[in-house]
Amino acid sequence: MYDLVQKHRYECAIVLTKDEIHYEKLNQLAIKPIVLLRSYKKDISLFYKFYKVAKQFKPDVIHVWGNMVATYAIPAKIVLGIPLVNSQITDAPNLNKVNLNCRFNFYFSDKIISNSKTGLSKYGVNDVKGMVIYNGFNFERLSRLTDKEIMRRQYGITTQKCVGMVATFFNTKDYNTYIKSALAVLKIHNDVTFLCVGSGDASEYKNYIPEQYKSRFIFTGSVKDVESLMNVCDIGVLTSFGEGISNSILEFMALSKPVIATNLGGNPELIEDKKSGYLIPVAAVDELVNCLNVLLYSEQQSNEMGKHGEEIVRNKFGMERMTAEF
């Protein structure tokens, strides 16, 4: 959106249901967000409030991100006859049945965008309405990385090798497999630090680690300069139970790091198995241990996979391509 407004002079209104802006670039636009605060999670007053905004602004398209905001936009779409583009699919969960709210939103949406083919398939969206636009990575971000040695000192990384997993501590992320695999690796090769980067309650996992290995794990919490910390890593890992197109994997690959990830969701659309990294089964500790050992101590293979991953991001997941498709 930033590029469309800046380069192509689109007129745009931004409507938020929380008075929070997570993307600093939006502050550079001469657009003051319209904040429609909810009194409770499914505040029905927002149907009318959003309708009034749409009636006054008269957009050519309403573009929504999120399940409830898609629902709030439907009366304006119907009454004012404005096409509705729905980008609420950002994951690829194992669903037995798509819930009623999603089906309602999809029925009234003119176009449904997912960041992975698997996401559309999991939510049962057909080819007529469905469209895949992959996340775009802006390589300009890598020109401002903090020096590796500074990051190592800041986080107390003293080992020769470093492995990182960047994910929130949430039930869809499999930190259990990551930490079990790390402990198995450390029994053989002790000169490795394992980073656990993300917000959430990590106490369960910290308590699981034996005392003699605690110094080899660093739990960082949320990190602002996350790409500089990821750049310290030799390998990126993402074990999980459901993914769309993971920004964590995308960033590791853009940094020329080989990635080991669970073979599900949108991960196979990002990683070329045995070429840019490895795809492993769900909760596969032994497979993860084997892949880590190969990459940690085969520098040539690790570098070749990392370079191939960077090429994939440049060719398939560039920011310009994403902007053009939107």
280 Cβ contact list (under 8 Å, min separation 6): 239, 260, 261, 262, 263, 287, 288, 291
Domains detected in the chain? 2-133 (3.40.50.2000), 139-318 (3.40.50.2000)
Instruction: Give the Cα separation of 196 and 199 in Å (integer).
Output: 10
This prediction has a pTM of: 0.85
Q: Find the range with the poorest average confidence among 91-100, 197-206, 285-294.
A: 91-100
What confidence tens digit (pLDDT) does each residue in 98-153 have? 889 999 999 999 999 999 999 999 999 999 999 999 999 989 889 999 999 999 99
- Average pLDDT taken over every residue of the chain: 93
